[in-house]
Chains A and B, each alone.
Chain A
Amino acid sequence: MRPRADPDKNRWASRAVQALFLIALISFWYFLTASGRVSKILLPGPGPVLYELTDVLETGEFVSDLLITLTELAVAFTISTVSGIVIGYLISRSPYLIKVFEPLLAGVYAIPIILFLPLYVLLFGLGMPSKFALGATISFFPIAMNTIAGFGHVDKVFITSARSMGASNFQMFRYVLLPAAFPVIVTGLRMGFTVALLAILGSETIASLAGLGHQIVHFSESMDMARMFAYITFAVAIAAFLNAVVSTLETKGKS
């Protein structure tokens, strides 16, 4: 292999390619719509979308839907965090229980849980409760399985040495088990959060009364494409922001 080119120069070239890619994409979008080759009903130009986006942000009409989505996310994630960690901890206390329950959880996790949505809509209605239920079900599995993995696979040497030095049960939990399991659990929480967010946006899109996903569908069905694109941009930005926050927390929690 050839010796590496100057890494600094290479990085600038990569950045330039990325910037060019973005510029090319947006100008392609602009010319496609401006030339009239694509119907405005199917694809609005970047100008109208930007206009609608500023309008949505200025009038603040997104607030109620955003609050609903965030409430659903918060409730679902709280339910799955509490139940996932408690159940996972209880299972992890005995190697036998781990052997019994781990394949069971992994087996259920192999089913696309989005399939339960029609059932939850039937049981809990179109409003927020069905979103709580779906988000909590989907994010329960990664959280519970990572809690089991975290608490269940602590190095035996640590446990034995802490015991022989006379650690109480509480001390054992606080200074041995928890620090060992924490990074794994935090990863599970991050995974759970991501899938809960997806599940909630998804169930809002499929069957709901309000929320960001509902709003996107609403504008799609009323053929208000520019506004729909504005809402898509907004929802993607919110999701990216939330995921970035959670990833940062994950890295912080691990160190």
Chain B
Amino acid sequence: MAHAPAIEGAADPRPLRQRVQAFMLARPGLARLAVVVLLFGIWEIAARFYVDRMFLSPPSIVFSGLYLVLQTPGIPAALRITFFELSIAFVLAIAIGVAAGLTVGLSRFAHKSFMPIVLLLYGTPQITILPLFVLYFGIGPASKIAFGVTHGMFPIMLAVIAGVQNIKPILLISARSMGANRWQIFRWVIFPHMIPSFFAGMRLAMTGVLLGVLLAELYVSTAGIGYFTTLFTQSFDPTKLLGLISLLAAMAIVLNELVRRAEIRFSRWRSS
């Protein structure tokens, strides 16, 4: 410190800076929070001073106006409908995916024959047939559920197939040589081995169901959230639009997190 400045307060700047640095380095979570706050700050400033209020609202107004969104007639019902569509679609996707996955996965011949077809269907951009779903199932919840199911069932199917196929043959052989019948083999060998990949598939299926249902909602809707996003877009009401989008994003995050927790919980038997 040869050139230490004369001012008393600034005499010791480096250790302080270093201390702040060390403090931040030990806490990446705090820096993450700072980044989020910074991004919201940029959004706030951009919306307040640079963008027309007709097109973008600052986050302070959006979040303080969330209760207005919830008070808008029809919105709570719309959120309930969307949640209902998501749950039904998810359950159906699991049921169909598990049934089809076991059918294809448990027999080597079926696997060889139908796996390419499953992969081909999975790779097809289903969004191109969305208008067909609306024609066949109507503009009500049925078309959203059906579209969600077709998005969600393939990940489950593939996960079940992968889980069933990855079992070490030695486990099957030893179970059989100890006199297990088909059901016992399924219940005690195949089923537990399927669980981890099944839950990984469930996470992907949740993403798929969310995508399918929301796509169908945005495409056409009479009472669901798609109706209101269109309404708010066409009436240039970005405050309510952003509020609704945040509510839906929150719903999506909660659902994803639930499935992720379940995955961690039910995959634990392997490590113990």
Spell out A's residues near B (CB within 8 Å): 1, 10-11, 13-14, 17-18, 21, 42, 96, 99-101, 103-104, 107, 110-112, 114-119, 121-123, 197-198, 201-202, 205-207, 212-213, 216-217, 220-221, 228, 232, 235-236, 239-240, 243
Contact = CB atoms under 8 A, between A and B. Distances in A.
A221 to B, nearest CB: 8
B9 interface: no
B131 A228 contact: yes
B214 A111 contact: no
21 contacts: A1-B172, A1-B173, A14-B112, A17-B113, A42-B136, A96-B28, A104-B35, A110-B257, A112-B252, A114-B215, A118-B233, A119-B245, A122-B238, A197-B125, A201-B125, A205-B127, A206-B215, A212-B128, A220-B135, A232-B132, A240-B124
B95 to A, nearest CB: 23
Interface centre among A111, A213, A216, A236 (most CB of B within 10 A): A111
Interface string B126-140: 011111101110000
Contact of A100 (B31, B114, B132, B172): B31
B128 A235 contact: yes
A42 B134 CA distance: 11
Contacts of B114: 17-18, 21
Given A112-B210, A119-B242, A220-B135, A13 B109 contact: yes
A217 B128 CA distance: 9
B28 A114 contact: no
Nearest to A228: B131
B188 to A, nearest CB: 17
B264 interface: no
Contacts of A198: 125, 127
A104 B28 CA distance: 11
A112 B254 CA distance: 12
Q: Is the interface of A mostly helix, strand, loop or mixed?
A: helix
Given A1-B173, A42-B136, A122-B241, A18 B131 contact: no
The number of chain B residues touching the other chain, given as a range, is 35 or more
Nearest to B36: A104
A92 B173 CA distance: 47
Contacts of B116: 18
Given A104-B36, A201-B128, A110 B112 contact: no
B61 interface: no
B135 A42 contact: yes
A228 B234 CA distance: 27
A1 B127 CA distance: 43
Contacts of A117: 218
A202 B127 contact: yes
Contact of B241 (A99, A112, A114, A119): A119
B218 A206 contact: yes
B253 interface: yes
Given A122-B55, A123-B55, A100 B127 contact: no
Nearest to A247: B123
A13 B114 CA distance: 12
Contacts of A111: 249, 252-253
B63 interface: no
Contacts of B31: 96, 100
Interface in B222-244: 229-230, 232-233, 236, 238, 241-242
A254 to B, nearest CB: 19
Contacts of A216: 128, 131
B127 A201 contact: yes
B132 A220 contact: yes
A239 B229 contact: no
A206 B173 CA distance: 53
Contacts of A14: 109, 112-113
Nearest to B211: A112
B25 interface: yes
Contacts of B230: 118
A151 to B, nearest CB: 18
Given A122-B241, A123-B55, A235 B253 contact: no
A21 B136 CA distance: 23
B186 interface: no
Contacts of B113: 13-14, 17-18, 21
A206 B127 CA distance: 10
